[in-house]
Amino acid sequence: MGIYVNGIGLISPQETLDNKVFLESTIELENTYFPIAKPPYKAYINARDLRRMSLVIRHGIIAAKIALADAKIENPDAIMTGTGLGCVIDTEKFLIKMHENKETLLTPTSFIQSTHNTLGGSIAIGLGCHNYNMTFVNRGFSFESALLDAQLMLEQGEINNALVGGFDEMTDNHIQLMLAMPMYKPENGVKVGQGSGFFVLENQKHEQSYAELLAMETLYRPSDSAFDEKLRTLKKQFHLSSENTVLLLGHNGAKKEAEIYNAFARAYFPEATVTAFKHLCGDYYTASAFAFWVASQMLKKQSIPKTLLRSDFHNDIIDNVLIYNRFNETEHSLILLKRC
């Protein structure tokens, strides 16, 4: 049985609303962090609901709607979301109000909206979906864990399809916290971002399928030898070579990270076409969801927009895309997608 990407939806700093268009024009970052390219909210969500929803919930719901419509699925068998921080703006609001008012005169709205599973729950309510519903919150493994859960349930025959997403938002206050972390210290040159990417995975291939999900691996603090073994196994199992594999790497602007990604490409796929994505969406916990959208598009459209290329483009056919993403040096993920 294969697992197929049959619908995609992405709200990001770039114009990614229309899946027919694949990064034809892109913007460069000017600010401290990437703002979201705002979608026409009212086209997707009614005015009454819109008022109650924070931006991250709106963006997640719209991305989910686009992916479901794309796959022509109305009510998925499961909903899995991943997020590093959940609903930051509401968490901050409640925290600051609580501090300012010394624990008095508080209202429940932002508390209710602050939980990490607010989006998963909101999507379920919107769809009237009583099925399996899960939220993962493990830094750079958040979106990956949602993918893994879907993969396991599809493989074990518990479900036929799943809506899987990764979402994170950035706020003016939260960027201050990020900039205090060693990785994001301003002198490192890392650009911080945000976005919401949702995908429909199914155990059936359709004419409109984007890609087949071959493998998803997370590695926590891997030793050099464990990492090496994982790569060799993957290459052997799926017959990957420089000729048939395009790399999509998590370069985040830091020099040290670039060296690691470059060494990775040299060691395992020395002649492969190399691409990168974080210069378009910034670095955040679930940036791999942006990469998942990019890889799906590459495989379906059989093209690579120039802005992504970090090497010459020397493939007649794009057979496989291997996403390698690192978070904070400790969390590594590998996602392998294949042409349908």
Partner 1 sequence: MSERIAITGIGIISALGMNVQENLYALKNSESGIGKMSFIKSIHQDEFPVGEVKKTDRELAEYLAIPYERTYTRTSLLAMVAAKEAWLDAGDPLEDKCGLISATTVAGMRTSEENYVDFIAYKEDDFFVEAHDAGDGTEKVADFLNITDFITTISTACSSSANSIMLGARMLKARKLDRVLVGGVDALSLFTINGFNTLMILDKEACKSFDNKRAGLNLGEAAAYLVLVPEHKLKKTDRVYGFVQGYANANDAFHQTASSPNGMGAALAMEKALKSAAYTASDIDYINAHGTATNNNDLSEGMAIMKVFGQEIPDLSSTKPFTGHTLAAAGAVEAVFSCLAMQNDIRFPNLNFNEQMEELDFSPITTVIKKPVKTVLSNSFGFGGNNSTLIFSKE
Looking at the Cβ atoms of 47 and 180, the one nearer to partner 1 is: 180
Closest CA to 198 of 3, 18, 9, 22: 9
Q: In angstroms, what is the minimal distance from the CB of 69 to partner 1?
A: 19
Q: Select the residue interacting with partner 1 from 7, 13, 76, 86 (CB under 8 A).
A: 86
Q: Is 134 in the site for partner 1 (CB under 8 A)?
A: yes
Q: Select the residue interacting with partner 1 from 41, 132, 238, 313 (CB under 8 A).
A: 132
215 and 245 Cβ atoms separated by less than 8 Å? no
Q: Is 108 in the site for partner 1 (CB under 8 A)?
A: yes
- C-alpha to C-alpha distance for 157 and 136, rounded to whole angstroms: 21
Q: In angstroms, what is the minimal distance from the CB of 181 to partner 1?
A: 6
Q: Which of residues 153-182 bind partner 1 (CB under 8 A)?
A: 153, 155-156, 173, 176-178, 180-181
- C-alpha to C-alpha distance for 228 and 334, rounded to whole angstroms: 12
Q: What share of the chain is helix, strand, coil (3-state, %, to 5)?
A: 40, 20, 40
82 and 166 Cβ atoms separated by less than 8 Å? yes
- C-alpha to C-alpha distance for 57 and 54, rounded to whole angstroms: 5
Q: In angstroms, what is the minimal distance from the CB of 57 to partner 1?
A: 10
Q: Which of residues 264-293 bind partner 1 (CB under 8 A)?
A: 285
Q: Select the residue interacting with partner 1 from 20, 221, 236, 255 (CB under 8 A).
A: 221
Q: Is 74 in the site for partner 1 (CB under 8 A)?
A: no
Structure tokens of 338?
């294949």
Looking at the Cβ atoms of 95 and 260, the one nearer to partner 1 is: 95
Binding part of the chain for partner 1, among 1-9, 110-118, 194-202, 251-259 by CB under 8 A, reads 110-118
Structure tokens of 139?
């830094």
Quick note: the x/- pattern for partner 1 over 6-45, rule CB under 8 A, is ----------------------------------------
Q: In angstroms, what is the minimal distance from the CB of 203 to partner 1?
A: 15
Looking at the Cβ atoms of 137 and 258, the one nearer to partner 1 is: 137
What is the CB-side half-sphere exposure of residue 245 using CA atoms within 13 A? 24
Q: In angstroms, what is the minimal distance from the CB of 163 to partner 1?
A: 12
DSSP strands (E only) in the chain: 4-11, 78-82, 132-136, 161-168, 195-202, 211-220, 245-249, 273-276, 320-327, 331-338
- C-alpha to C-alpha distance for 310 and 287, rounded to whole angstroms: 18
Number of residues that bind partner 1 (CB under 8 A): 64
Q: Select the residue interacting with partner 1 from 127, 214, 249, 295 (CB under 8 A).
A: 127
Q: In angstroms, what is the minimal distance from the CB of 36 to partner 1?
A: 20
DSSP 3-state of 123: helix
Looking at the Cβ atoms of 145 and 275, the one nearer to partner 1 is: 145
DSSP 3-state of 230: helix
- C-alpha to C-alpha distance for 225 and 212, rounded to whole angstroms: 28
Q: Is 117 in the site for partner 1 (CB under 8 A)?
A: yes
- C-alpha to C-alpha distance for 311 and 37, rounded to whole angstroms: 28
Binding part of the chain for partner 1, among 5-13, 32-40, 96-104, 246-254 by CB under 8 A, reads 96-104
Burial 128-165 (b: 16+ CB within 10 A, else e): ebeebbbbbbbebbbbbbbbbbbbebbeeeebebbbbb
**Residues of this chain that bind partner 1 (CB under 8 A):** 79, 84-86, 94-96, 98-99, 102-104, 106-108, 111-118, 120-122, 124-125, 127-142, 145, 148-149, 152-153, 155-156, 173, 176-178, 180-181, 218, 220-222, 226, 285, 330
